[in-house]
Structure formats: structure tokens, C-alpha cells
Structure 1
């Protein structure tokens, strides 16, 4: 049951009084609650009722903020994606090796996964749910990484022609996804970071080989 109290500062949610907050703050609460519920129960099990209860907020307010569960999922994925975006240095400007931006991108992405395993699990759960239930949404989720990472590496000056960057980034994403699943399954942070270092060496060798062919 949700009802307004006599105060303009609180509402009663399932028998508990909850302070009124701004719509932006409430939206953030719902997103954080969704991370917890999705990581625990999967997307199918993460009903809007469960998410609202986790946020200690009226269900009607959740639907006001996001309208649909799909909108909430996409907003959550966008937020998690924004947390792991890495501003790799521009190799030409910093004097770093051409592979340094790639190493930074892979290493910092996997460091985020290791440091935030619940949030990483939520990204995987949303991706798999979208692939099964909403292929269009799945494509939009993948495009967030593909477009942003391609732009970042092009700006960083990696030694690949523009038409080859997308293929390279797809390989990078595949490695990051695989390492993320490994971390979720094994819960071994040290091993994940060691394997990430190996992945970086593989990517570096690919770039060096491509540079030699171009020369």
C-alpha cells in the first residue's frame, strides 16, 4: 500500500515512512536497487516490484521515472557503461607506445570488473536478457561499447586504418567479456588481472604486426 501522509516530506511504503526526495535522487536509488536485484535474481527475476521494494519506494514512482522495465534496464546499462569508460592517453601526444591506449583501456576495464563484481554481473545479466528477449536492445547495448571504444582508440592514434578499428575493437570487447565471465565464475581477482595482462600482450603483438605490414 502506498499513501500520502499528512506531511509533505514523507510517504508510507508498505507500512514504513520514507522521506521524499527529488526525482533525480529517486531515479538513482532505483538504478542502484536494480543492480542489487539483477545480480541476485537475474533480469527475469528482477520484477519492478522487487526493485521498488529494494529501493524502499512506491512502485508507481518507479513506473513514473522509467515507464517500462526495458527503459530501466537500458538506463542502468548506460550508467554502468559510463562508469567503466576509460580516457586512454593519446599516444602521439604523450610519447607512449602505440599500444598503450589499448592496454590502458583493457586494464582499467577489467580493474573495474574486479573492483565491482556485482555491477559487472548486472551488465552481463542485462546483455543476455536482451539477447533473448529484445534483439534490438541487445544491439544498442553492444553499440555503446563499439562506438565509444572505436572513437577513443582512433583519437588515441593507434596504428590501424579506420576501417580496421571496428574489427579490432570487436576483438577487444570479446576478450573483456570473456575475462568478465571468468571473474564472475571463479571470483579470482589476481588470476583475472594476470590473464588481462596476457590479453594486453596479445593485442600489442597484433598492433605491432599490423604496423610492420603497413611499413
Structure 2
């Protein structure tokens, strides 16, 4: 077997785990199934990830990284906070929700698994806080780049945004009606823009 750098091997295993999770769910994601998907010996997998919980934690971190990358790619942060909210929500919904039912189920299954597994409660908290932190930093960056302020603390805006998006996602997963979900997303976007009420920093540009 050719030598593979540890960082590359880790990424290979995480990618394989995500594929197994989307296909078989958390219950069916065993280390043996992941090793088979990655086409590596089980011993190699155990060396990189000694336990399934460590592997699931790595997957959770990887998905959060995807969300951060998506938000950074779909919106020009120099356009201000309102544009970031509108563009970010639209882009996230189109790419991660409409085009990613399997991944959404994985995220919710991972959260439930963490809440139900003694010793993994911190992962559940990290999953929610991780998404909130990503969104809050992204909103702050957009506002500051445009010389704006936000009417509420950025972490408050981010928590409300994440909570509302999660609610719409659950509705969409249960009943994927594109017209209804688009209308609900538009209404939620207006609510969040109003909550943020971005305005120029006093004295900026004067």
C-alpha cells in the first residue's frame, strides 16, 4: 500500500464516513463500514480514529467547515449586512437544503446521537455553537466591511438565524414543498433583516 500523509488519510476517512452516514445513517455507520468505503484496512482506520465517537466528531467539524466555506463563497461581504443575510440564506438554502437532503439528515442524526450518548453532550453543544459562531462571525465581517452596525448583538442575530433555518429545514424534510418553503424563507429573511436593522456607524465617512 502506498504511503499516504496522515492529513490526507484523515480527510479520506472523513469523506468516506460522510458517504456512509448519508447512505446508512448513524446506526449503520460502523468503523468496518467506513474502512470498506475508504478502501483501507480496519487497523489503519483505528490508528487515525481510535473510536467511532472521535470519527463522528471529525465529521461534525468537517460539515461546519463546509457551511463556513459556502457562506464565504456565495456573498460579497463588502455589500453590507443586509445583502449578506439575503444572499447567504438564499445560497445556503439552494445548495445545502434543496440539493442536500442526505447531508441534512446526517446533521440531525449526529445531533440526536450526541444528545443520547453519555459523554458526547459537548459535541451536541459544539455542533450548535459551531454553526452559530460561523454565522455570527460572517455577519460581523459583512457589517464591519461596509461600516455598519447591527441593532442586536451578532451572537443573538446568529442564534436566531440558525434556529429559524433549522425549523424551516425540518419542515422541508417532512414536506418538501418548494413553493411554500421559498415563501417561508423569504418571510424569515425579511424578519432577520428587520432584526439586524443595519445602519451606518455614526460619524463614518464624515
- After TM superposition, the score normalised by the length of structure 2 is 0.77
**Counterpart mapping for 1:20-39 below 5 A:** 22-39=5-22
Measure the CA separation in 2 of the matches of 1:189 and 1:82.
27
Question: Following TM superposition, by how much is the alpha carbon of 1:189 offset from its aligned partner in structure 2, in angstroms?
Answer: 4.7
SS of the aligned residue for 1:119 comes to: helix
SS of the aligned residue for 1:57 comes to: coil
**Counterpart mapping for 1:98-137 below 5 A:** 98-111=81-94, 112-133=96-117, 134-137=120-123
Deviations 1:31-61 (A, max 9, x none): 2222232233332331111222222322111
2:133 pairs with 1:143: no
Measure the CA separation in 2 of the matches of 1:155 and 1:167.
15
2:154 pairs with 1:168: no
**Does the CA contact (< 8 Å) of 1:39 and 1:125 recur in 2?**
no
**Does the CA contact (< 8 Å) of 2:136 and 2:158 recur in 1?**
yes
Structure 1: 4+ residue segments shifted above 6 A: none
**Does the CA contact (< 8 Å) of 2:157 and 2:195 recur in 1?**
no
Q: How many residues align?
A: 189
Task: Extract unaligned runs of 5+ from structure 1.
Answer: 1-7, 10-19
Q: Larger C-alpha radius of gyration, 1 or 2?
A: 1
SS of the aligned residue for 1:99 comes to: helix
Tell me how large the CA RMSD over aligned residues is.
Answer: 2.6
- After TM superposition, the score normalised by the length of structure 1 is 0.75
Measure the CA separation in 1 of the matches of 2:121 and 2:63.
20
Task: Extract unaligned runs of 5+ from structure 2.
Answer: 200-206
